[in-house]
Amino acid sequence: MRIEVIGTAQQCDTVDFKGKTAVVIDVLRATSVIVTALFHGAKAIIPAISIEEAQAIYKSLEPGSAYLCGERNANIIPGFHYGNSPLAFSPDAVIGKTLVLTTTNGTLALRNTLEAAQTLTASFLNISAVAELVGSQESDLVIVCAGTGGRFSLDDALCTGMLISLINEHKKTETDDLGRLVLQFFGADIGSISDKLAECSHVKILQEKGFQHDIDFCLQTSRFPIVPILKENYLVKS
């Protein structure tokens, strides 16, 4: 298996996705929200690029069947039901509901992978399930780190390194230079996931905004045994 790693959502136009599996990673916090909500019973999640697109999709759905969810600059969008905190998406909140989600980086990354044979989402929360599924397949892999505001982000990089390491337990892989770099970062003996991300710019931004509980939740590994998959315009459990 050949693995390519893309550093930000905006760099997706540098790779050919055709015939490949894409895995989108936005640890803090979109892909953590997606897996949490689906595990807790959400019917589906519809990613939207803009606030206006999200509002239009929401208005097209049956009244009472959906919620508007999302953030800009880590803050809930005014008028939306929920922001981008995975802690908000409990079973009581989401079971049977369709969530229309727009975020600064994660939903853009999802939209930019539409030419892939399939698109999955990964986070620390479901990383073992993703590695097992991808490791059982034959297609080459493109891992898209969503990044933060168009810049490479250490949280997504560390999750990518862990994912490659776990896939290597299932089958032999070859990676590009960025893939080798994030694999080395993950393998470095410098402490826990939290320790490795102590100086991460994105972590510090969320801490300053009071989202430490979100960070702690998102950095848990293999909590959810499901893999979200994009089918047409809907994210559902695979």
CATH architecture of 2-237: Alpha-Beta Complex (3.90)
Buried b (16+ CB within 10 A) or exposed e, 1-27: bebbbbbbbbbbeebebeebbbbbbbb
CA distance 75 to 90: 19
CA distance 76 to 87: 13
Contact 26, 156 (CB under 8 A): yes
Contact 131, 167 (CB under 8 A): yes
Q: pLDDT tens for the chain, 238 residues: list them.
A: 999 999 999 999 999 999 999 999 999 999 999 999 999 999 999 999 999 999 999 999 999 999 999 999 999 999 999 999 999 999 999 999 999 999 999 999 999 999 999 999 999 999 999 999 999 999 999 999 999 989 999 999 999 999 999 999 999 999 999 999 999 999 998 899 999 999 999 999 999 999 999 999 999 999 999 999 999 899 999 8
Radius of gyration of the chain (CA): 16
pLDDT at 189: 80
Spell out the domain ranges in the chain.
2-237
List the one residue out of 235, 221, 202, 180 whose CA is nearest residue 104: 202
pLDDT at 77: 98
pLDDT at 190: 84
Over the stretch 157-197, which tens digit does the pLDDT of each residue have? Answer: 999 999 999 999 999 999 999 999 999 999 998 899 999 99
Q: Which amino acid does the sequence have at 192?
A: S
